[in-house]
Amino acid sequence: MLQLLHLKKYYATQKAVDDISFTVPQGSIFGLLGPNGAGKSSILRMVTGITMPDEGQILFNQVPFNMVKHSGLIGYMPEERGLYKKMKIGEQVLYLAQLKGLSKQDALAKIKYWFQKLEMESWWNKKVEDLSKGMSQKLQFVTTVLHQPKLLILDEPFSGLDPVNSEVIKNEIFELAKQGTTIIFSTHRMEQVEEICQHIVLINQGKIILEGQVPEIKQRFKLGEYKLVVDGNLEPFTKFIHSNNGNEFVLRFEDKKEYRQVLQYCLDHQFDILNFNEILPSLHEIFIQEVEGTAGRKFDR
C-alpha cells in the first residue's frame, strides 16, 4: 500500500527524519511508535503530502505519491486537532468532505450515516466551540473517515477521549480495517498499540530502531521468564527464582529443560499448580528499554 524509501527531512538544526524506509502492507493496522519529538509527525506530514521530503521517495500503491491525485484516498487526523470553532458542525463536515473531492449529495448521505452511527444527529446546527473535548474528538474522527479513505492516518487518536468513547472509536477502527482500510496509527501509548496494531515501527531521533510483527518482536525480546503460582516450596531451585511473592514465583530459565525439571518437581511432590505461563515483555517495556539505550535519551537526562 505504502512504501517509504530512504526518506529524509532536515530542519535548520536537526535531522527530523534520517533515512527511514518501511512498508505498510495493504489492509494492516500499522503502528508508528516513538517518544515525543522522534519524528513521527514529520513522517506523517510527508506521507500526507503536507510537506515534501528533502530526499527519498514515497510510493502509494506502487506509484510515486502525488498529493493532488492521492489526497482523496487518504484520511489524516493530526495530533493537533483542528476544526473551525465558529462554523456550524454540519456545514463544516460537508466542507471538509467536499475538499476531499466528494460531491455534495454523496457527502450528505455519508454524513447522515456516520452521524447516526455515532449518535451525533443533534449536532448539525451546533458549533464546535459548544462541544466538549471528547465530542470534538469524535467529530474529528468522523471528518477523517467520511470520504472512505484507503489509507487512514491517525496521530494519537485516543488522546482526550473517555474510556467509553475510546472504545467506540477503537471498534470503528477495527471495522474499517476489516473492510480493507490500511491504517497507520501513530502513538507513544504502548498499551493501545499492543491491543490494536499488527505491525510496528519504532523510531527515535529520526531513525528506525525496531521493526516487525508484534508477536515476533515480543519473542525477540523475551527474557525467558515464567510465572508459576504453586502451593508449595521451591527450595531446590533458588538459582532460578528471580522474585517471589508468597506462592507466586517469577522464574528465569536458560532453556526448556530447566522448567520441565521444576514442573516435574512440583508434580512429584503433589503441589497444586495454580498458574504457569511464559512472561512476554510488554511493548512498553521494550520501548523503554530500546529508547533508554539511545544517545538522545542519555542527553535528555
Partner 1 sequence: MNKILLIIKREYLSRVKKKSFLITTLLIPLLTSGLISTVIYFASTTEQKQLISVYDESGVFTQKIKGNSSFQIQYVNLGLDEKIDTVLSRTNADIFLHIYPFKNNQPDSFILYKNGGVSLIAKEYINDELTNIFQVKQMQDAGINKLQIDSIHKSTILVKSYNLDNHQETSSEIASVIGYVMGFLIYIIIFIYGAGVMRGVMEEKTNRIAEVIISSVRPFELMMGKIIGIAFVGLTQFSLWFILLLLFKVALPLFIPSLQPAMPMAMAGMANVHDTMQVISQSENAKMYATIMGQNWGLIIGCFLFYFLGGYFLYAAMFAAVGSLVNEDPQEAQQLTLPITMPIIFGFIIMASTVKDPNSSLALFGSMFPLTSPIVMLARIPYDVPTWQIIVSMALLVLGFLLMTWLSAKIYRTGILMYGKKVTWKEVIKWLKYH
Minimal distance, residue 289 CB to partner 1, in Å: 30
43/283 with CB nearer partner 1: 43
Q: Yes or no: say if 201 and 211 are a contact pair by the CB < 8 Å rule.
A: yes
Quote the CA–CA distance of 264 and 249 in Å, as a whole number. 16
Minimal distance, residue 198 CB to partner 1, in Å: 25
96/173 with CB nearer partner 1: 96
**Touching partner 1, residues 9-68 (CB under 8 A):** 12, 45, 48-51, 67-68
30/237 with CB nearer partner 1: 30
Site string for partner 1, 135-174 (x = CB under 8 A): --------x-------------------------------
Sequence-distant (6+) residues with CB within 8 A of 95 are 87
Is residue 68 exposed (0-12), middle (13-18) or buried (19+ Cβ within 10 Å)? exposed
Sequence-distant (6+) residues with CB within 8 A of 185 are 29, 30, 31, 32, 154, 157, 173, 192, 193, 196, 197
- Confirm or reject binding of residue 84 to partner 1 (CB under 8 A): yes
What strand order describes the sheet that includes 199-204?
74-77, 151-155, 182-187, 29-33, 199-204, 207-213
Stretch that binds partner 1, among 19-27, 97-105, 109-117, 157-165 (CB under 8 A): 97-105
Residues that bind partner 1 (CB under 8 A): 12, 45, 48-51, 67-68, 71-72, 74, 76-78, 80-87, 95-96, 98-100, 143
